[in-house]
Amino acid sequence: KPGPSSSSVSGLFVCHHCSAAYQQKKGLSQHIRSCRVSTSLHVFPPSYIRAVTEDGVKKFACGFCDFTSIRACRVKNHYGCQHSAIQYFACKLCDFKCKSHSSLYLHKSTVHSKKKRCPYCKYSTCTFRASRLEAHIRAKHAREKPYVCATCGDKFSNIDILRRHEKRKHGSTFFSCKKCDFVCYSHSEFTKHKRRHPSTGKLFECYTCTFQTYTRSYLVEHVKLHMEMRSYPCEYCIKTFVSLKSKKGHMLSVHTERMHTGPQKFFSMADL
């Protein structure tokens, strides 16, 4: 027969301490001798798991109330939290003990985890290793930003972030779209922009000329050309544009050298 620290549920021998189940009593007996919870706390509670059938579904039920679950481990957690004063779950790394597996998991993730949460990101669930957490705090939460971009004047708290900014925003190589006048320095931004030019979908056509596009906003900007709504003039030539985006693309592709040497009157490079 099952010993004082086990119960027979649906033909299986279940350990009261960790819900491990075995088809043979011999397997349960070997498990109990090495069970972390039972050997560390030396407790042998009475039988509290019983088998029930609800609507043709076999479940595990608490022996002290009407709580049921299809998983024995949940009945065990329920028993430890609601009916037992004994703390069955013990931390292997310290003397912490608790009644439920969820409390033990929370303890290990907050106290013994190699990764830490940022104390300043109140709503973030991201965790960092010790070295990366320090860099994250300097980059996102430090008030002092001693590293200044020589091109646009943006300030940063970390030299690595400044270098990424200079490479992304002020690199010598820029990407120009063949289907419109969009220009940027970042390959990732250029790839994202190309998705705005699908090869399939609803085609928008201009009623004045042969212009065609798959993007409605592009057609709106094109129609402004026919209506002479050019409200964005270039600072270095006489050209005017219907949108700030078109103006920026023109400045990057035509007046690149003058932008880096002369004063930036038209827009900040940080906006690109």
Place of tokens 């290990």: 108
Structural domain of 82: 6-89
The pLDDT of residue 261 is 52
Mean pLDDT of the chain, nearest integer: 69
The pLDDT of residue 172 is 60
Q: Of the residues 73, 89, 105, which one is the last residue of a structural domain? A: 89
The pLDDT of residue 271 is 45
CA–CA gap between residue 205 and residue 211 (Å, rounded): 6
The pLDDT of residue 44 is 37
Answer whether residue 22 is part of any domain: yes
Q: How many CB atoms lie within 10 A of CB 36?
A: 12
Answer whether residue 30 is part of any domain: yes
Answer whether residue 31 is part of any domain: yes
**CB of 170 closer than 8 Å to CB of 269:** yes
Q: Of the residues 31, 58, 89, which one is the last residue of a structural domain? A: 89
Q: In sequence order, what are the residues at sequence separation of 6 or more whose Cβ sits closer than 8 angstroms to the Cβ of residue 104?
A: 89, 90, 91, 96, 98
Looking at residue 272, its amino acid is: L
Overall number of domains in the chain: 2
CA–CA gap between residue 128 and residue 121 (Å, rounded): 12
Give me the long-range contacts of 156-164 (CB less than 8 A, separation at least 24): 160/135
Place of tokens 């190699």: 114
The pLDDT of residue 181 is 67
- Residues of the chain below pLDDT 50: 1-9, 37-46, 262-272
pLDDT digit string, tens, across residues 145-189: 777 877 777 887 777 777 777 777 776 666 777 777 677 766 777
The pLDDT of residue 45 is 46
**CB of 128 closer than 8 Å to CB of 145:** no
The pLDDT of residue 90 is 79
Answer whether residue 131 is part of any domain: no
Answer whether residue 148 is part of any domain: no
The pLDDT of residue 17 is 61
Q: Of the residues 64, 89, 114, which one is the last residue of a structural domain? A: 89
CA–CA gap between residue 60 and residue 68 (Å, rounded): 6
pLDDT digit string, tens, across residues 212-237: 777 777 788 777 777 666 677 888 88
What's the burial of 6, exposed, middle or buried (CB within 10 Å: 0-12/13-18/19+)?
buried
Answer whether residue 168 is part of any domain: no
pTM value? Answer: 0.23
Answer whether residue 232 is part of any domain: yes
Angle at CA of residue 262, ends 260 and 264, nearest 5°:
80
CATH code of residue 230: 3.30.160
